[in-house]
């Protein structure tokens, strides 16, 4: 018994065949090494499928994008989708990259503060327009042209300001992560209102008595005081728009402070 490869698998050294999802992601760039394919032409294009899926996700959330529902919307049988896309996960990756690719990236303003804010605000706006982006998991490490272009643009916002390469990456990650967390909070707030059919405030009123009864015997001096002040200021239990402004100001101040120590 040598260590030779399994004879059932022919001698081909299996040069780590590339992930098929990668070709799909970059389909518009690689494009046309197309020799005509056998069999019936596809009635639709991958873009048709992805666009329909994005529209469904915008309307119904990521969980609302089912292979069955999507197929019906496209006039296909469910299993026919699998000739366009290997599976649902890959479809989601394509949706994400399509969204990233479509957005026209605004020119970066002058001034580091404004540039950093722009990076965060663009991401925040995108996550608000497509809340399902925040629910996406499991598409790492698939990297498409939309994500690549976006990263390049984000880095250009912090190029030449005095950060080293690693710090540039970390700064972008910090801004994007923060914008995501704000959008996440906003999305959760909206979901709560939508699903309960009543506003947050109404729920608190309806349950204030029970909450008071139940919390008696515990002391929440700070939470009571701060919660009330925040509630009055927000007219809600939270106000993600204000959290964005507050947090962004602090983060940008922090980055500027780092650079200030160097000049």
Partner DNA sequence: GCTTGCTCCGTACGCCGTACGGAATATTGT
Partner DNA sequence: ACAATATTCCGTACGGCGTACGGAGCAAGC
**Distance separating alpha carbons of residues 120 and 209, to the nearest angstrom:** 40
- Could you tell me where the DSSP H helices lie in 5-86? 20-25, 27-30, 46-60, 67-74
Give me the helix-helix angle, 200-215 and 165-196, nearest 10°.
90
Residue nearer to DNA on the CB measure, 22 or 185:
22
Report the partner that residue 209 touches, choosing among DNA, a copy of itself, none (CB closer than 5 to 8 A by kind).
a copy of itself
**Distance separating alpha carbons of residues 184 and 178, to the nearest angstrom:** 10
Residue nearer to DNA on the CB measure, 43 or 225:
43
Report the partner that residue 13 touches, choosing among DNA, a copy of itself, none (CB closer than 5 to 8 A by kind).
none
Report the partner that residue 190 touches, choosing among DNA, a copy of itself, none (CB closer than 5 to 8 A by kind).
none
CB–CB of 189/200 below 8 Å?
yes
Closest CA to 211 of 223, 199, 194: 223
CB–CB of 178/120 below 8 Å?
yes
187-190, long-range: CB within 8 Å, 24+ apart, which pairs?
187/127, 187/128, 187/131, 187/134, 189/236, 189/237, 189/238, 189/240, 190/131
Give me the helix-helix angle, 145-157 and 165-196, nearest 10°.
120
Site string for DNA, 143-162 (x = CB under 7 A): --------------------
Does position 136 interact with DNA (CB under 7 A)? The reply is: no
Q: Which residues, including other chains, have CB under 8 Å from residue 84's CB and lie 6 or more apart?
A: 42, 44, 46, 49
Residue nearer to DNA on the CB measure, 68 or 250:
68
Report the partner that residue 194 touches, choosing among DNA, a copy of itself, none (CB closer than 5 to 8 A by kind).
none
Per CB under 7 A, the list member of 25, 56, 84, 123 interacting with DNA is 84
Per CB under 8 A, the list member of 58, 113, 128, 180 interacting with a copy of itself is 180
Task: Choose the stretch contacting DNA; rule: CB under 7 A; options: 2-10, 64-72, 183-191, 243-251.
Answer: 64-72
Report the partner that residue 223 touches, choosing among DNA, a copy of itself, none (CB closer than 5 to 8 A by kind).
a copy of itself
Per CB under 7 A, the list member of 79, 202, 223, 256 interacting with DNA is 79
Task: Choose the stretch contacting DNA; rule: CB under 7 A; options: 81-89, 136-144, 156-164, 236-244.
Answer: 81-89
Name the phi and psi angles at 192, rounded to 5.
-60, -40
Output the smallest distance, CB 86 to DNA, in A.
8
Per CB under 8 A, the list member of 13, 222, 262, 263 interacting with a copy of itself is 222
Site string for a copy of itself, 132-161 (x = CB under 8 A): ---x-xx-xx-x-x--xx-xx--xx--x--
The distance between the two most distant Cα atoms of the chain, rounded to a whole number of Å, is 77
Near DNA in 9-48, by CB under 7 A: 35-44
Closest CA to 170 of 160, 188, 179, 158: 158
Residue nearer to DNA on the CB measure, 41 or 194:
41
Instruction: Give the binding site for DNA (CB under 7 A).
Output: 35-44, 65-69, 76-80, 82-84, 87-89
């Amino acid at each position: 018994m040598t260590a030779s490869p399994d004879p059932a698998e022919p001698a081909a050294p299996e040069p780590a065949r590339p992930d098929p999802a990668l070709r799909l992601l970059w389909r518009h760039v690689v494009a046309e090494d197309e020799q005509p394919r056998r069999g019936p032409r596809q009635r639709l294009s991958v873009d048709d499928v992805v666009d329909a899926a994005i529209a469904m996700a915008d309307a119904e959330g990521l969980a609302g994008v089912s292979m069955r529902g999507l197929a019906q919307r496209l006039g296909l049988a469910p299993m026919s989708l699998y000739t366009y896309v290997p599976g649902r996960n890959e479809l989601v990756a394509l949706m994400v990259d399509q969204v990233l690719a479509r957005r026209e990236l605004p020119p970066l303003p002058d001034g580091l503060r404004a540039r950093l804010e722009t990076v965060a605000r663009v991401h925040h706006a995108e996550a608000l327009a497509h809340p399902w982006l925040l629910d996406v998991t499991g598409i790492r490490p698939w990297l498409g042209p939309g994500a690549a272009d976006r990263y390049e643009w984000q880095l250009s916002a912090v190029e030449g300001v005095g950060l080293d390469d690693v710090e540039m990456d970390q700064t972008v990650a910090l801004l994007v992560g923060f914008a995501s967390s704000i959008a996440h909070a906003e999305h959760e707030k909206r979901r709560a209102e939508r699903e309960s059919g009543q506003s947050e405030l109404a729920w608190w009123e309806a349950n204030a008595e029970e909450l008071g009864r139940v919390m008696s015997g515990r002391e929440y001096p700070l939470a009571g005081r701060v919660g009330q002040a925040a509630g009055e200021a927000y007219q809600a239990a939270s106000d993600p728009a204000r959290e964005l402004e507050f947090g962004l100001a602090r983060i940008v101040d922090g980055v500027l402070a780092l650079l200030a120590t160097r000049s």
